[in-house]
Structure 1
Amino acid sequence: MANKDLVTFVKKTGIFLLPILALIIGYFYSDPFKVNHTYKAYNNQPIELNQGYISWQSFLNHRDSLKYDSFILGNSCTMAYPTTIWKSFLENANPIRLNANSESLYAIYKKIKRLDESGVYIKNVLLIIDNNTLGKVVKNTSHTRILHPDISGISETEFKKEFITAFFNPKFLIPYIDYCIFHTYRKYMRGVIMEKDDHRNQLTNDIRNPRESEIEQFERQYWVTHKKEFPARELHIDDYSQVIFNTQKKMLSEICEIFKKHKTDYQIIINPEWSQRKFNNQDLIELKNIFETDRIHNFSGKNIYTENQEYFYEKSHYRPLLGRIILQEIYTE
């Protein structure tokens, strides 16, 4: 009788554990977040990956052969500044984009420090910032934001633990399984599955927004189709609140010292926004107290750039069309 009970228990336990075991095997086999192995390229990935990890790993993959010396840092708005365009304004430069989605000042600070500590020559820097970036000064350990172990110094085990934990979260697992079975993007999958694949250059991390193809095909009709993504602007828009305080000042000052050490030709761009909300004036003063004034370029607020809807994909991101104009203005001053 006892043996029968044991057999029944094993069978029932096996039925329960088999799906979990299958998921674990599937996780390590498919490596959905692309962090368990090193890859030469990260194109054609349906999963929303950790952009900061990918960009830094691409840098590590090719730094010895390509001798990177010029760096674009910031959030997803850095896509408006492809290295191919930026390079045309530089002299004998080997640029790479070291971006991350929703990038923080903390992450930018850690990346620049790591470049310096690694003995990398920091010849040119394009620093793309906004109020949101400057307000973040603590490390983020979520799987989409956690820094590469080479930057943070955490163990590989601790780093990878965040991803396997995220994998078993129902918010990820359900849309992931749905997509694996039906290969169909659904709106509820946003943040887990990409609606369209970004076209990434494995050597420079340049990304071509898939909406650019839509604009090429439909031209001005694009902005009619996407009208809801451009909310009406208020008659009176308050400036952003101040975000640069002591912690930010310390990080920014250390970044400036590294630039001085390398005699870096750096340019700091404050993002233009469709909302036309203006960067805080006291924050602008603080930036000018730390960095050279003529290297800080504020494109926020109401101006000829934010007035033109065709410079934007939607309310949050602007196009390389505007990025080129901004670079032209900066480097011909």
Structure 2
Amino acid sequence: MEKIPETITDAHIRKRAAFLRLVRKLELFTIPFWTLMALYIYDDPFMVLRKYDLYDSDVMLNEHHVGWQIYRNHNDSMHFNSFILGNSSTMAFRCAEWEKYLSPGDHAIRLFGNGESLKAISLKLHALDHEGAEIKNVLLILDRTSLSRFSLLNGYGNVLPAAISGDSPFVVQMEFMQAFAMPDFLFPYLKYRITGRVEPDMKRMNPYGRIRDSRNNDSFNPREKMIKQEGEAYWKNRKKEFPERNGTAVVEEPVIFHRQRVLLEEIRKVLRCHDTSIRIIISPDYHQKELHPDDREILQSIFGKENVYDFSGVNEFTEDYHNYYESMHYRPLLGNKLLERIYKFNDIR
């Protein structure tokens, strides 16, 4: 056998050594990544990897996932058949308060999303239908912004559960892992992880503690406690959150066009299949801006005039600033008044 020249053997050894050095460097380079992934899986900061009995956290959670998991956790015992859907203004409507106007034995749950879109509402109703849920009653809380949105929103806070969106669970989890690794979340979270404290400048963190009911997803707004403690000073000391109004309603531009109407028809189709009792509330806007009459008429043509209640503009509900936490959200005391109006005074709209 011909002997291999020494020079070739030396070159092979050098290449092999260089390759091994590269592998070690790559291993060192990936250590931070795998460390972060291990921390993400261990901590499950967004509470989307495992099942929990209580969905409250020092991290601001994805409300779509929270609501859907609460529904699944308690549906076997509660037999939910009534659903509060819509945007964050659903916080003004307590399930127990709504149940007073429903049939005995009806049980409600809140399945909302911050800045909710018509697309998300449609997908949630289709998911409930697919789950075999009885959709007996729906309370739909909307405003002009929600009515304008015909596609899903971006960001980890708006990602729908795979069971609702129809996306792959892996794709959904990747959204949360990417959000975890972004500096604007990761650095504040690591600081919180070390100190155990939520500081005011920490983005996407929850400094309030418990903010929801673990059985029906009712909202516990910390500002209610602040109002109780401060009284009238709560509004007096927050002038920037309550800008002056002149008592004149400004009619907004219409927002319901073909794509919005298609989604509204899809929502109505699911409700019709279940013979659902539907009530739609257009929220009383602090700024007293009024929904365009064309939008209201379209909603009435699809869902029935008797089922659409528009409280936007200048009225007894928007005039009193005590009804509001800030200019974007109103309180349960106003939500209770609206429920009384739509269920006890059906001839007034």
| Short-chain TM bin | over 0.9
Measured in 2, the distance between the counterparts of 1:261 and 1:252 equals: 14
Identity of aligned residues (%): 38
The structure 2 residue matched to 1:53, chosen from 53, 60, 65, is 65
Could you say if the C-alpha distance between residues 198 and 302 of structure 1 is closer, same or farther in structure 2, counting changes exceeding 3 Å?
farther
Which consecutive unaligned segments of at least 5 residues does structure 2 have?
1-12
Measured in 2, the distance between the counterparts of 1:130 and 1:141 equals: 19
The structure 2 residue matched to 1:33, chosen from 34, 39, 46, is 46
Alignment of 1:274-293 (within 5 A): 274-293=286-305
The structure 2 residue matched to 1:129, chosen from 142, 146, 151, is 142
Alignment of 1:247-262 (within 5 A): 247-262=259-274
> Counterpart in 2 of 1:106?
119
The structure 1 residue matched to 2:96, chosen from 84, 97, 122, is 84
Contact 1:198 1:207 in 2 (8 A): no
Question: Helix, strand or coil for the counterpart of 1:150?
Answer: helix
Measured in 1, the distance between the counterparts of 2:330 and 2:132 equals: 34
Deviation (angstroms), 1:9: 6.2
- 2:149 matches 1:149: no
Contact 2:87 2:115 in 1 (8 A): yes
Describe the superposition over 1:123-160 as per-residue Cα deviations: whole angstroms up to 9, x where unpaired: 11100001111111112352111111111111111110
> Counterpart in 1 of 2:85?
73
Contact 1:70 1:96 in 2 (8 A): yes
Please give the root-mean-square deviation of Cα atoms over the aligned residues, in Å: 2.1
Contact 1:141 1:162 in 2 (8 A): no
Deviation (angstroms), 1:74: 0.7
Deviation (angstroms), 1:307: 1.0
Deviation (angstroms), 1:195: 2.9
The structure 1 residue matched to 2:176, chosen from 163, 181, 198, is 163
Question: Helix, strand or coil for the counterpart of 2:41?
Answer: helix
Measured in 1, the distance between the counterparts of 2:66 and 2:246 equals: 38
* Bigger mean CA offset, 2-11 vs 179-188: 2-11
Contact 1:74 1:129 in 2 (8 A): yes
Contact 1:198 1:209 in 2 (8 A): no
Could you say if the C-alpha distance between residues 238 and 69 of structure 1 is closer, same or farther in structure 2, counting changes exceeding 3 Å?
same
> Counterpart in 2 of 1:189?
202
Q: How many residues align?
A: 331
Code of the aligned partner of 2:181 = F
Measured in 2, the distance between the counterparts of 1:94 and 1:280 equals: 34
Measured in 2, the distance between the counterparts of 1:107 and 1:118 equals: 16
Could you say if the C-alpha distance between residues 261 and 220 of structure 1 is closer, same or farther in structure 2, counting changes exceeding 3 Å?
same
Question: Helix, strand or coil for the counterpart of 1:233?
Answer: coil
- Structure 1 or 2, whichever has the larger Rg, is 2
Contact 1:240 1:278 in 2 (8 A): yes
Contact 2:247 2:288 in 1 (8 A): no
Measured in 2, the distance between the counterparts of 1:231 and 1:14 equals: 56
The structure 2 residue matched to 1:215, chosen from 214, 219, 227, is 227
Code of the aligned partner of 2:226 = E
Question: Helix, strand or coil for the counterpart of 1:72?
Answer: strand
- Structure 2 length normalisation: TM-score? 0.88
Deviation (angstroms), 1:249: 1.3
Question: Helix, strand or coil for the counterpart of 2:109?
Answer: strand
Code of the aligned partner of 2:207 = E
Deviation (angstroms), 1:261: 2.6
Describe the superposition over 1:41-94 as per-residue Cα deviations: whole angstroms up to 9, x where unpaired: 212x01111101110111122222221100000111101001011111111211
Code of the aligned partner of 1:308 = D
Question: Helix, strand or coil for the counterpart of 2:34?
Answer: helix
